[in-house]
Structure 1
Amino acid sequence: MGLKKRSPTFYILAAFFVLFVLFMYGPMFAIFTLSLQGQNGALTFPVRSFGFYWIKSLFLQQQRIGDFGAAFQRSLLLGLLVMALTVLIGLMAGLAFRRRFPGSRVIFYLTISSLIVPSVLVSLGIGIAFSLLGIETNWYSSGLAGHLTWTLPFAFLIMIGVFNRFNLSYEEAARDLGASEWQAFKEVILPLIAPSLIGVALFGFTLSYDEFTRTSLISGGRNTLPLEIFGMTTNVTTPALYALGTVTTVFSFCIIGIAFAAFQFFSRRQQQ
């Protein structure tokens, strides 16, 4: 039996998909390639020699391109703090919106409106508010507020969707068996929505970790990693910047891998 002849539409769609993948991932792979050069590497192609010199130099040599280590620590701490608050507040909001209450519609649209307002205006508004209150802007105060205006609406929408599909009979059965509200939440609701909470946590961390615009005007005198990388683009003359991009990308994939493993763990527990 011969192979079925494919229509011209198939080849057109396949070519479009290949171009789409190249458009999405081509620049990233170019950065990876240029970061894997020897000591005589340049900022542009062709690659003169392959090696890990510039990646090792980030950790083993004193860099003049910026405060990479401190900026990374600030972004990591800020991302973890945003992640924790996003999960906690998103979960509380989802539980609250399981039932309608006076003003719920207004609160819903006010929360979502943060996604519509341009990021630079949000950053500017937070900076002005802190200035009027006499509070100094910093990455852990005003920067945290700016990031939460970006992550909380997404967490809010996700948790509303999760609880809209949640089967209340599980919770009602636990209450009928004598469980208190806290016991029903801890033993029934939380294990069932744990994979969704992991997704919200990963979403919140990644949105915070690479956020630039909402941090640009309210980070104070200490930059987060995206701001530091942006500043490096004006004075870097070596592939060290590409090496930094490669390292941070690998770190992001590690975080995704950890979150995926946790998701699989809780999903298996639900099936047992």
Structure 2
Amino acid sequence: MSIVNIRNIELVNNPAKYTDPYVLRIQFECIAPLKEDLEWKLIYVGSGESEKFDQELDSCMVGPIPVGLNSFEFSASPPTLSLLPSPSTPADLIGVTVIILSASYNDAEFVRVGYYVATNWDSEEYALDVEEGRKDGEMEHLVRNVKVDTPRVTRFSNKWDAPEPTTSSFPSGSTLPTSPSSTLLSAPLPNPTTSTSTPTNASAPRDPTQSALPAPITALPAPAPAPSPVLTTETETETEAEDAHPLASQVEDEDKMGKEVANDEGRGEEGGEGLSNAGGAALGEM
């Protein structure tokens, strides 16, 4: 970003005679304080083929520069004919060339504004007389016209008052400061066999009998064996069996009762046979 920006350029005497000085009124804006002055130059381009014919018509230093809008008037002499590319007559100056307004700070150009300049005779009648050879052409009849409506502006970067960048802010051979995180990472880890509350002597020789491993883990006592189940024998009492199996004892009682009924029925059949035999004998006797 440029600290100085041109707002307006006015050519006070335009058009003017070729031999008249250039008078410019320049307005610019400064957006920050400047320690040095500004240098302004007006350059006349004598030939489009080589820069060696360029003429610095004048230059001036402007300053100190306050912040805000500023304006000044700049006057420069006309070009020197002897420095132009061998004009034999004033008629050789007829044509178009360029003037350049350049601004610099600390010997560094930051802007240039170029204008086309048309040079011709002051009247058409005089131009016709010169063309037909009735007149030789004189310098006092030459006029210039700066085309202020078509400027060409070129801007350049400038350091202004910025400090020079330094490669390092630390003197040679000094060590860079370390951050707390890097200090923490570079710190040695504590010995797992020593307590943090007991200070250790780093210079004391290490005892090879002391192990660097943690203390061994003490084995826990084995759990007591579970009591083995008690097996019952076949010689258990009937009361215990009935208490343990009431349904089985009920079935056994019913089985005994069935056997007794069967025996009684058998005896009944035998008694019937006797009655039958006895009755038969009695009937026979009757």
- TM-score by shorter chain over 0.5: no
TM-score relative to the length of structure 1:
0.20
> Structure 2 length as normaliser, TM-score?
0.19
Q: Comparing both structures, which one devotes a greater share of its residues to strand? A: 2
> Which protein has the larger Cα radius of gyration, Structure 1 or Structure 2?
2
Larger RCO, structures 1/2 (Cα 8 Å, 6+ apart) = 1
Higher helix share: 1
